[in-house]
Structure 1
Amino acid sequence: MKKYLLTGLLVWLPLAVTVWVLSSVVGMLDGIFASLLVAAKTVLPLSAHATLDGWRDTKGLSVLVMISALLLTGAAVSNMVGQWLLNQSNRVFSNIPIVKSIYTSVKQVSDTLFSSSGQAFREAVLVRYPHAESYTVAFVTGKPSGEVAAKLPTDMVTVYVPTTPNPTSGYMLLVPSTDVIKLNMSVDEALKYVISMGVVAPPTNAGGPQVPPAGTPAAPGTHS
């Protein structure tokens, strides 16, 4: 009976977690959408209230509205007029006290992470952490710059070490580029490996450098 219970759990658990996550996201969007409709009712005539109430009671409509808004926004800022409007709005938010510190920080991070030309989170690597005799999976986020780069003794790279099983929290490390070992697995495969605590291993790829023993100097050209 224990064997059958565990087998049934393994079958239903991924589906249950997926449904729970999607339901939570849809519920959050429905709440935001309902708040926007309430605000709209304060400025629209009474004749439009019945329509707004019908929209609020339609489950999942917020998801369609959000997707449509994202598509329209992306299309709008793809031309010169949209870019000008976007720059003006960025300038306004960047001059509002308190708001500018939050808005500017989030914008810089999002531009770095989601830019098609950026290098952040494009490569999975191995680094020695938390001590010289152990390794962990990390993601290259770039290279140090400014004062930090000027005061570092050698060529370094910035990596993000995610925690398990929640990869949204972790540690930023500055490590010598010669100590970073490239992995042939994709970023998605590396994330699955981290989230599953090493249970879901990606397909074995014999290519690439091997991990040297602790204290062994790296051979030229074997590390990134």
Structure 2
Amino acid sequence: MQKTLLRGILNLLPLAVSVWLCWSITVALDDMGHAVLTLIGLGNQWTGSGFILIFCLLLVAGVAFSVSPIIWLYQKLEKQILRFPFFRTIYTSIKDLASLAGSDGSKAQKRQTVLFKQSNGTFIIGFVTSESIPKAVNDALPNDQWVPVLIQMSYQVAGITSLVKRSDLIYVDWPFEDAMRFMLTAGISPAKPK
């Protein structure tokens, strides 16, 4: 009975939490849209109208940010706002997280999965996150070609960034998403069949 209950929880919990999270975000956006509608004097419309308003506003913003003058103005505004240290810390963290979540897959494809050997003969799985490192760091390191490698921690969002010689890396033909799933679950999550 205990195994059956556990099997039910393990299968339904991810679905239930995902549905709950998506529903909560949808309701929050709908409430935000209703607040905007009330602010402009249209009062409380039908359920879902606030969500549609926010969706349309985001669509218009996406189109607007493809126009150079709008991008230039936004960058100027962003630069002025980022003069406040506390706000800068919060804003840049959220912006980095949003850009990571909103990547269309092209950035994920550039994150090459690699292995590198430790001194005790074991290997660590990591991801090359960039083809270059900051000049100040590069100047401080011995002459060689160094790249940043992210070592993701299991069940955490955090990871460790190591600088590794490119010659010490073993490049692996393993999609970023599959390797990340393996690392985040410490190998417990089964690999997708090919």
> TM-score, normalized by length of structure 1?
0.65
1:9 aligns with 2:9: yes
Task: Read off the aligned partner of 1:163 and give its amino acid letter.
Answer: M
Query: Where does 1:58-137 land on structure 2 (aligned, <5 Å)?
Result: 58=47, 61-62=50-51, 64-94=52-82, 96-98=83-85, 101-102=88-89, 105-106=92-93, 109=96, 114=103, 122-128=111-117, 132-137=120-125
| CA distance in structure 1 between the aligned counterparts of 2:183 and 2:53, rounded to whole angstroms | 34
Q: Distance in 2 between matches of 1:201 and 1:29?
A: 35
Question: Kindly tell me: are residues 128 and 60 of structure 1, through their superposed partners in 2, closer, same or farther at Cα, counting changes over 3 Å?
Answer: farther
1:67-94: CA deviations, max 9, x gaps? 3333211211212332332233234324
How far apart are the structure 1 equivalents of 2:9 and 2:93?
Answer: 39
For residues 111 and 26 of structure 1, the distance between their equivalents in structure 2, rounded to whole angstroms, comes to 17
- What is the total number of aligned residue pairs between the two structures? 190
The answer for the alignment partner of 1:183 in structure 2 is 172
Report % sequence identity: 24
Q: Give the match for residue 219 of structure 1.
A: none
Which residue in 1 is equivalent to 2:150?
160
Distance 1:68 1:17 in 2: 27
User: Contact 2:37 / 2:44 at 8 angstroms: preserved in 1?
Assistant: no
Cα distance in 2 between the residues matched to 1:127 and 1:194: 15
State the distance in 1 between where 2:22 and 2:98 align.
26
Deviation at 1:116? Answer: 8.2
Query: Could you say what secondary structure the match of 1:164 adopts?
Result: coil
Which of residues 185, 197, 211 in structure 1 aligns to 2:186? 197
| Alpha-carbon distance between aligned partners in 2 of 1:137 and 1:179, rounded to the nearest angstrom | 13
**Residues 42-89 of structure 1: per-residue CA shift (max 9 Å, x gap):** xx5xxx2xx44446xx36844x44433332112112123323322332
- CA RMSD, 1 decimal: 3.8
Pair 1:141-2:129 in alignment: yes
Output the CA distance in 2 between the equivalents of 1:6 and 1:119. Answer: 34
TM-score, with length taken from structure 2: 0.73
